Chain A
Amino acid sequence: KAGVTQTPRYLIKTRGQQVTLSCSPISGHRSVSWYQQTPGQGLQFLFEYFSETQRNKGNFPGRFSGRQFSNSRSEMNVSTLELGDSALYLCASSLAPLEGKTQYFGPGTRLLVL
């Protein structure tokens, strides 16, 4: 079974631009979560989607948004990029959004904002 895939793997943007990252979950998984990883803040939860609905959101500004499609694929968007948005963005999928369900992670998208 194929794992979680994320595209693109690397991105370079400039301040003020916007970016869209894509995540395809493991086949049969219906829940997708996004995390931001930076050297200073570590791994932080962004949001979680199930059945095209956002179930939970982390403590990030409104510039960070996401959505989930009917095939469970998910996208996250960051508008008006700031230097501090440079990070590794990880997507994880699980069978269901129930607490304690194991989340399987993709390889991440490395975003560099110049």
Chain B
Amino acid sequence: KQEVTQIPAALSVPEGENLVLNCSFTDSAIYNLQWFRQDPGKGLTSLLLIQSSQREQTSGRLNASLDKSSGRSTLYIAASQPGDSATYLCAVREGSGGSNYKLTFGKGTLLTVNP
């Protein structure tokens, strides 16, 4: 059974700091990995999706990397801002052929960026 773990569970940083969120998964046979953002009481917003054949994806101040063989992904946030405060969730879609559909999520990292 796939298990996804996110470390740390919570992180508080001053504005402007660069930071890294970690995600690990137990079964490396994944189709892709996705990072989401969730604001309190809200739904999920997709930030970055990395296919299993890719090593990283970038969007603005966000960079996500994937090391499939070791079962790890990181989300790097540059020059953090108070508006980045949210819970960040990592999810994997299993199946090497893409026929699977279910996402398995970690518990998330609660990020607070202090002004």
Q: Do A and B bind each other?
A: no
Residues of chain B whose beta carbon lies under 8 Å from any beta carbon of chain A = none
